[in-house]
Amino acid sequence: MPNHLVIVANRLPVDRITEEDGSTSWRRSPGGLVSAIEPVMRANDGVWMGWPGGTDQDLEPFEDDGLQLVPMTMTQEQIEGHYEGFSNATLWPLYHDLVAKPEFHREWWDEYVKVNRRFAERAAELAAKGATVWVHDYQLQLVPQYLRELRPDLRIGFYLHIPFPPAELFQQLPWRRQLLEGLLGADLVGFQLPGAAQNFVRLVRQRVGHKTHRDLVYLPDGRTVRAAAFPISIDAAGFEELARSEAVVERAKAIREALGNPRKIFLGIDRLDYTKGIYARLRAFGELIRDGHVDVEDAVFVQVAVPSREQVEQYKLLRDEIDRLVGRLNGDLGRIGRPAISYLHTSYPREEMAALYRAADIMVVTPYRDGMNLVCKEYVACRVDEDGALVLSEFAGAADELRQAWLINPYDINGMKAALLEAHRAEPKELTRRMRAMRKTVTQHDVKAWAASFMTELDDIGSHRKMVRPATRS
């Protein structure tokens, strides 16, 4: 059946679970993209196509909790080349300010091209005449161009969930022009921040040679592409409702009791990724205890590290580093029944996350670079009593909106320690002032507003594709 809205993402919004009896079922995935897109899907009766993980070649389209899902298969070679290779060992570190060194391999690029072309071909089959196709993220940056060639009738949007780097970094890519041209297949290219959109337009002007004017790119075929910022958000009302539920309130109390009812609970929840700054924040907290500013008798740091890309070597090394650090800190600083760090390498459902948010006094979000970071917004949405503190990296996209957080430079350990201590010692009145303002921001700019603004803009641009080009370049 042709669909009027097709979501194209690298992953499906569900993970396959093997039960004890050997049968398989599907469970909703954790992560920002899933929570952000689900309401849009439901509102538009759309279909979501993506990879379910693994190498199974015989999966048919299916429905899960009312969502229409179309699995895309990948061979082991494609997983290693497209996903683990080009997407996560080339693009991810490059787009995150070289926190790790990117690798450039022609074989990986070849697999990236093949997978992007296959995704575009399947989207072309699924989309009704004149439909809207919304392509997501760095793994699929060539899809808009391939899709445009196959189906010029479609309205195509692309959204990048991670940062888009400045020209000095992007230009290292041997395939820089191909990626820029891939994105120009879209009518609207969305980014988290205005600076990213400006980086893109500048690169298109310099590297592809198209005329540009402010946020518009004018193509030789008469099409106009707009690049703009659409800061992503969360289902704020859903998280608030969850946080107020009796089950979550009781679970939050149980968590505090299990931790020994400390006076203050610090909390970090991240994918286990080298961009998230987990090692630095735990080290900073350890130094606060060592220096006598914080006592393990009345404070604990709960760090949830969600397993991520466990086959990629850099992620295995990171896990080992953090395991060793936690062991050392607890061995040196903890006491019987009072560890300095309560470390959990696992993922949790939304209910448990909401309980952790409610239980925690200080949320610590310290990425070296992050497109947005939705965890800090989820924490704010769950602070229904307008208390709690947020310590936030200025290099997270969310720092542009959540100005009342304690903003820190994650590379500055002493600065981070000072902010953690300030948040730890802040008066209730100060906490309420800051949290009230952040809650207002998160509530007003929720995921529905984000999706509506992107879709409205895409509809508008799609209706006015032919525009007069300016005589001069600016």
Q: What is the pTM of this model?
A: 0.93
* One-letter amino acid of 383: R
Q: Kindly state the helix (H) or strand (E) to which residue 14 belongs, with its residue range.
A: strand 14-18
* One-letter amino acid of 356: L
Q: pLDDT tens digits for 115-159?
A: 999 999 999 999 999 999 999 999 999 999 999 999 999 999 999
In whole angstroms, give the CA distance from residue 327 to residue 345.
13
In whole angstroms, give the CA distance from residue 318 to residue 330.
18
* Spatial CA neighbour of 132 closest among 454, 447, 467: 454
* One-letter amino acid of 92: W
pLDDT beyond 50 at 474: no
**What CATH number has the domain spanning 236-444?**
3.40.50.2000
Task: Classify the phi-psi angles of 31: left when phi > 0, otherwise alpha if psi is within -120 to 50, otherwise beta.
Answer: left
Is residue 299 within 8 A of residue 262, CB to CB? The reply is: yes
Largest CA distance in the chain: 74
Query: Which pairs from 251-259 meet CB under 8 Å and 24+ separation?
Result: 251/351, 251/352, 251/355, 252/355, 252/356, 252/358, 252/359, 253/359, 254/355, 255/355, 255/356, 255/359, 256/359, 259/300, 259/302, 259/342
* Spatial CA neighbour of 345 closest among 300, 301, 305: 305
Confidence of residue 465 (pLDDT cuts 50, 70, 90): low
Q: Kindly state the helix (H) or strand (E) to which residue 108 belongs, with its residue range.
A: helix 106-126
In whole angstroms, give the CA distance from residue 156 to residue 183.
10
* Spatial CA neighbour of 338 closest among 254, 260, 266: 260
Q: pLDDT tens digits for 366-402?
A: 999 999 999 999 999 999 999 999 999 999 999 999 9
In whole angstroms, give the CA distance from residue 257 to residue 250.
11
β-sheet bridge partners, residue 17: 25
Distances (CA, A) of 227 to 64, 160, 216, 295: 33, 11, 6, 49
* Spatial CA neighbour of 264 closest among 424, 134, 111, 390: 424
Q: pLDDT tens digits for 187-216?
A: 999 999 999 999 999 999 999 999 999 999
Q: pLDDT tens digits for 295-310?
A: 999 999 999 999 988 8
Give the position of tokens 């769950």.
382
* CATH 3.40.50.2000 placement within the chain: 3-232+450-463, 236-444
β-sheet bridge partners, residue 297: none
Using DSSP, state whether 426 is helix, strand or coil.
coil
Strands 299-306 and 216-218: unpaired
Is residue 56 within 8 A of residue 38, CB to CB? The reply is: no
Dihedrals φ, ψ of 347, to 5°?
A: -115, 155
pLDDT beyond 80 at 472: no
Domain 3-232+450-463 maps to which CATH number in 1.20.120.160, 3.30.70.1450, 3.40.50.2000, 2.40.50.100?
A: 3.40.50.2000
Residue-averaged pLDDT of the chain: 93
How many residues are present in the chain?
Answer: 474
* One-letter amino acid of 395: F
Q: pLDDT tens digits for 58-102?
A: 789 999 888 899 999 999 999 999 999 999 999 999 999 999 999
Confidence of residue 38 (pLDDT cuts 50, 70, 90): confident
In whole angstroms, give the CA distance from residue 382 to residue 252.
11
